[in-house]
Amino acid sequence: MTAPTEKPEPTEKPEPTENPEPTDQLQRVHLIGIGGAGMSGIARILLARGVPVSGSDAKDSRTVLALRAQGARIAVGHDAANLTQLDGPPTVVISTAIRQDNPELAAARERGLSVLHRSQALAALMTGRRVACVTGTHGKTSTTSMLTVALQHCGLDPSFAIGGDLAAAGTGAHHGAGDIFVAEADESDGSFLRFSPTVAVVTNVEADHLDHHGSEAAYAQIFRDFLGRITPGGTLLSCADDAGAEQLARDAEQLGLRVRRYGRTAPGAAGDAILLDYRPAGTGGRLRVRLPGTGTSAAAEEHTVTVAVPGEHMALNALAALLAGLELGAPAAGMLEGLAQFSGVRRRFEFKGRADGVAVYDDYAHHPTEVAAQLTAARSVTEGRLVVAFQPHLYSRTRMFHREFGAALALADEVVVLDVFAAREDPEPGVSGALVADAVTLPAAHVHYVPKWSAVPEVLAGLARPGDLVLTMGAGDVTVLGAEILTELGRRERAR
């Protein structure tokens, strides 16, 4: 087998700059779409390092207001004037979501300004630190967050960039004083090929983002290419329970890379981590794990730890975080204590409130496997019925996976399907949320297609009964419905 090579980026993206130094490339930075999860994290770290930051976003938000309070100069709306009004020529940072006709991007290129992809800027911020990257089709945000919180508990103060906000800290990025940088590594557009991790965690490999990669084979290949980015002497941590991740581990071994596995089915070789048992515990879960020995002890040790998030998929994420921490030199006792203090991530089975005896949660799941896993986990923490409101994300994903979404959503008792959240895509004829609703394998009386977004809270409140759990799901603006659902439930309770 030949060594992996980097997959070339599409021509419309800025050409990569290999390991740009922060002092050379990032002396003054303008971020287009600064309010996004990834872009705002970069801005936050830059500001903490004393770099002048400006940017723009389509609208004001809590994130934008927080960055302004830290000193960022942010305009609402995209306009070429946002660049000309700056004190000096900046490096311009964009994400894959920024279209090529964006007026600020066009102006930057006309002026010959340095334009970096978000991943290039993040790679620059990693310079000089030991890097731990967490990637995979599912579970990246939760695993990265667990690892970060546990390392913080050990007093290591890592820098981190996560695609979601930690519930306790209220942020997804931080400039730490330690020598470790923990990053959620995005495979969706292949941009994680710009990172050079010492420790690389791959949670799973399953077909997704085919709108970009084109085929399942091409998507799997990008992970094999990622193996070539692991630094000499570095380690791949792979989930043995996932067929795609296990194949990647075997590929890595053929390349001579050091591989450690975790999961229920991990072979138990020296250095592997085993999930011996998982049981629901309140609104979280209780894990019994076997971890490799550390320090002068080579003997594996069994431990029990309770985590605040439910589901066996979260138990595996926790196990990955523990093993990654050990690989980075953190003590097992400190990692276990830190993991027990992990309070979750916003939009990952996030509790929004309770009204009229109904608990309301919100989750980011937007792939059939994620939907099925989270509905299974939600079922374990409620004695009532499970009522889900699902918003499909992207027309291409809806077209490709509507049958799989239908099968996954059938794990609920009542299903409300919203229309597609377009994100970066234009509408496709014949593709709507109705495709998903029609595919749900429940009696028709329990499946409701509600294309009018504003009508969803009233519909959900009418379906829910005391003791039920309502879960809003999707990567779009379905997340903001929680407060309105609680208001409707409260109104119904008062009316009685």
Does the pLDDT of residue 214 top 70, yes or no? Answer: no
Task: Spell out where 223-323 has E strands.
Answer: 235-239, 258-263, 273-281, 284-291, 301-307
Same domain, 376 and 400: yes
* Confidence label for 1 from pLDDT (cuts 50, 70 and 90): very low
Tokens encoding 111: 């002026």
Q: Name the nearest CA neighbour of 348 among 217, 165, 168.
A: 165
CATH number assigned to the domain comprising residue 418: 3.90.190.20
**What amino acid is encoded at 110 in this protein?**
E
- pLDDT at position 267, please? 80
Same domain, 278 and 379: no
Same domain, 407 and 325: no
Domain final position from 321, 340, 359: 340
Most confident residue range from 33-42, 136-145, 247-256? 247-256
* Confidence label for 15 from pLDDT (cuts 50, 70 and 90): very low
Domain-embedded: residue 14: no
Same domain, 58 and 145: no
Same domain, 374 and 241: no
Please state the pTM of the whole predicted model: 0.80
pLDDT tens digits along 145-203: 999 999 999 999 999 999 878 877 778 899 999 999 999 998 877 788 999 999 999 99
Same domain, 316 and 181: yes
Pairing of strands 358-363, 350-355: antiparallel
* Confidence label for 7 from pLDDT (cuts 50, 70 and 90): very low
* Confidence label for 295 from pLDDT (cuts 50, 70 and 90): low
Same domain, 317 and 399: no
| Residues annotated as catalytic (active site), given as ranges | 140-141, 184
Same domain, 382 and 462: yes
Same domain, 193 and 49: no
Average pLDDT of span 375-393: 93
What residue has token string 């979280």?
Answer: 284
Does the pLDDT of residue 315 top 50, yes or no? Answer: yes
Same domain, 279 and 190: yes
User: How many domains does the chain fold into?
Assistant: 3
- pLDDT at position 206, please? 81
**Three-class SS of residue 3?**
coil
Domain-embedded: residue 6: no
CATH number assigned to the domain comprising residue 51: 3.40.50.720
pLDDT tens digits along 242-283: 999 999 999 999 999 999 999 998 787 878 999 999 998 888
Does the pLDDT of residue 39 top 60, yes or no? Answer: yes
Same domain, 158 and 108: no
Same domain, 152 and 300: yes
**What amino acid is encoded at 79 in this protein?**
D
Classify 178 in phi/psi space as left (phi over 0), alpha (psi -120 to 50) or beta: beta
State how far the Cα of 118 lies from the Cα of 339, in Å rounded to an integer. Answer: 29
* Confidence label for 209 from pLDDT (cuts 50, 70 and 90): low
